[in-house]
Amino acid sequence: MTFARPFLAAALAVTLSAAAAPATAQDGQVIVIVNGLPITSFDIPQRQRLLQIREGRPHSREQALDDLINDRVKFSEARRFKVEASEQQVNAAYAQVAQRSGIDPRGFDQVLRAQGIEPRVYRGKLRADLSWSNIVGARYGRTIFVTDTQLADAISRRQQGNTRSVNYVLRPIVLLVPANAPPARVAQRLAEANALRGRFTSCATDLEQVNRIPDSAVREQFRRLSSDLSPQFRQVLDQTAVGKLTQPSRTQQGIEMVAVCAKEDINANDTTVRNQAREEIQTAEMQRISRDYLARIRRTAVIEYKDGRGGRGRS
């Protein structure tokens, strides 16, 4: 489905110890050193798995290595300004991802290992992401201003071609199934999902039914404007009555459905519309700043390939 990315999408692939200290024998052979931080033969296939889960397509060794180099550059910059993420931040982020998946951190460890990803690798990537967010926010967060003209244009674009704007209140539900589960297990879970869908009539009273199903999870409720959804998914929601579940779909996590808890008509002056449009503009500008910043510091990074290549900004 297009409404949400898999929960492993946030995964990154280097622990702090691997990034800040010499690689150990169990981490494999050092392939590249970026600003003094090693990338090993262990890191590269781990990153390939993460990228495949996040984007739903295989990635080459070269693509994974390039992504790892970017992370080492980001982390070294955050460390230079002393804003690298703390262990407490990383633990909190890890627990939050696990909670959104309907399991505890130990259970999430098992989910990661089932995907061929070491939990320490995932935590390291979270540390790199959080550290980069810290430095970009600290250096540039206060420089982003949204004018009334920008806001009006953004709202106009959102509603262009829509005769009716709707704010959907949604609650994802998943029946967990390992990615490598046999077809019979997948079919069994699909039958459970369809049975639940048949008897589900209200978000207010029926979500507790999900908790009685083994290896199931109800994720956090969220809101989405119709203009932020793909036409295909909006059609699915429009065809699903309030209090009912969308048709089950197979994803990386298992069998997923979405409970449609409410459909609220809105107008261009609605506070929710204005706030979401403002956030969209700010997010896009921050992403542009982040890309430019990374490109600039990567050009001056010291990248040493153990096959003899190297120098500043080489990739």
Position 252 scores a pLDDT of 78
Which domains does the chain carry? 7-143+281-312 (1.10.4030.10), 166-265 (3.10.50.40)
**What does DSSP say about strands 302-305 and 254-265: parallel, antiparallel, or unpaired?**
unpaired
- Residue by residue, DSSP assigns 51-117 as HHHHHSS---HHHHHHHHHHHHHHHHHHHHTT-PPPHHHHHHHHHHHHHHTTS-HHHHHHHHHHTT-
Which tops the pLDDT comparison, 85 or 141? 85
DSSP 215: T
| Residues 184-197, mean pLDDT to the nearest whole number | 93
Cα 184 from Cα 119, distance rounded (Å): 29
| Residues 129-146, mean pLDDT to the nearest whole number | 87
Which residues sit opposite 168 in a β-bridge?
224, 263
pLDDT band at 20 (very low <50, low <70, confident <90, very high): very low
Which tops the pLDDT comparison, 16 or 28? 28
Q: Which of 15-24, 35-44, 134-143, 272-281 has the highest mean pLDDT?
A: 35-44
pLDDT band at 66 (very low <50, low <70, confident <90, very high): very high
pLDDT by residue (tens digit) across 121-136? 889 889 999 999 999 9
Position 308 scores a pLDDT of 56
pLDDT by residue (tens digit) across 29-63? 999 999 999 999 999 999 999 888 777 788 999 99
Q: What is the pTM of this model?
A: 0.60
**Strand ranges (DSSP E) for the chain?**
30-34, 37-40, 166-176, 216-218, 222-225, 249-250, 254-265, 302-305, 310-312
Over 50: is that where the pLDDT of 266 sits? yes
- From 58-67, 179-188, 282-291, 302-311, the region with the lowest mean pLDDT: 302-311
Phi-psi region for residue 82, left (φ > 0), alpha (ψ -120 to 50) or beta? left
Cα 10 from Cα 97, distance rounded (Å): 9
Which residues sit opposite 303 in a β-bridge?
34, 311
Position 160 scores a pLDDT of 63
Angle at which helices 105-114 and 87-100 cross, to 10°: 80
pLDDT band at 99 (very low <50, low <70, confident <90, very high): confident
CA distances from 48 to 18, 44, 45 (A): 17, 6, 5
Over 80: is that where the pLDDT of 234 sits? yes
Position 111 scores a pLDDT of 85
Position 209 scores a pLDDT of 86
**Six token digits for residue 220:** 């956090």
